Amino acid sequence: MALALVGRPVAGRILAVSAGPIETSGWPFAADVTVRDVSVAGTLADLPLPLAWSARQVDLRATLWHPDRFVVFVTGEQHVRFADGTEVPFRAGRTELTIPFGPATSAQSADLEVDDLRAEGPLAGLTLARLRAHGEQQPGGQSLSARADQLTLPPLPGGRWPLGPGIAVVALDGVITGPATPAPSLLARATAWRRDGGAVQVTRAALQWGPLDVTAGGRLGLDANLQPEGSASARIKGYVAALDGLAGSRLIPPPAAMAAKAVLGLMAHTPDAGGEPEVEVPLTLQDRTLSLGHIPLLRVPEIAWPNTP
């Protein structure tokens, strides 16, 4: 038996789902469904970003011992295809999605756990030790909490990563507002998302990359030209070595790095418990320029939204 659902509305979005042969087993103590060659395409959460995912095999399980949850296991090679057509194959030692359901469940939610992920193809060399994510549909939007540990970046052609190839922690807690309105093109979806108040409200974001340790919170949206804009308040440690690395890689002009270090040095303080000096500063992204206070640091590449589906 095979499955194909195209143009099916799910929570205000359009999904295209297809699958190969389906097998059932486990009765009477469990309901196990094995589906091969699964493919899902649609918009990501409430963002106007199309995404396609496929897997060699997906196992779905509901057991008599845990009747209030539905668990999805993914095995074998998986693929993610982005809006620009880039396709990334990858494998994981463990991919598990848990979806609670039943009368006691007040909101749509899901928990994702991924261990030992290794990318291939254009991102060969990218590895991730651990990913934990929780998403929940709320009246105010789609909440998301995610943390990735021990991320190894792929080799950078003709250069090196400015802060090193290993990122210890990336974490995000926030709410995505503004529904992804069905529209005939990515440009139209981004326009509608901005028009309907689309934004990412970040309650906490954290990054530990080489010498840099940043914790921030703020808001990110799209400006009139559909380019990212936003503001945040950030607590930063290791800013001297980080700015030197960014300037050495020519990601920011050396004069801007020198000015930023001078200003941050005046604002820095040592925590009461001791340790490395830290500084709290405002960050803004406007007109594709990321600024630290009043100091412009770097230009962000322009997003060219295609006028195609």
Q: What are the residue boundaries of the structural domains of the chain, listed by start? A: 211-309
Question: Is the pLDDT at 6 greater than 80, yes or no?
Answer: no
What's this model's pTM, rounded to 2 decimal places? 0.82
Q: Tell me, what's the pLDDT at 73?
A: 93
Q: Tell me, what's the pLDDT at 202?
A: 94
pLDDT in tens, 140-186: 788 999 999 999 999 988 888 999 999 999 999 999 988 767 777 78
- Residue 249, burial from CB neighbour count under 10 angstroms (0-12, 13-18, 19+): middle
Residue 122 carries which DSSP code?
Answer: G
Q: Tell me, what's the pLDDT at 180?
A: 67
* Residues 6 or more apart whose Cβ sits within 8 Å of residue 247: 253, 254, 256, 257
Q: Tell me, what's the pLDDT at 46?
A: 52
Residue 51 carries which DSSP code?
Answer: E
Of 262, 265, 260, the residue nearest 277 (C-alpha): 265
Q: What is the mean pLDDT of the chain?
A: 86
Question: Is the pLDDT at 44 greater than 60, yes or no?
Answer: no
Question: Is the pLDDT at 33 greater than 80, yes or no?
Answer: yes
Phi, psi of 159 (to 5 degrees): -170, -165
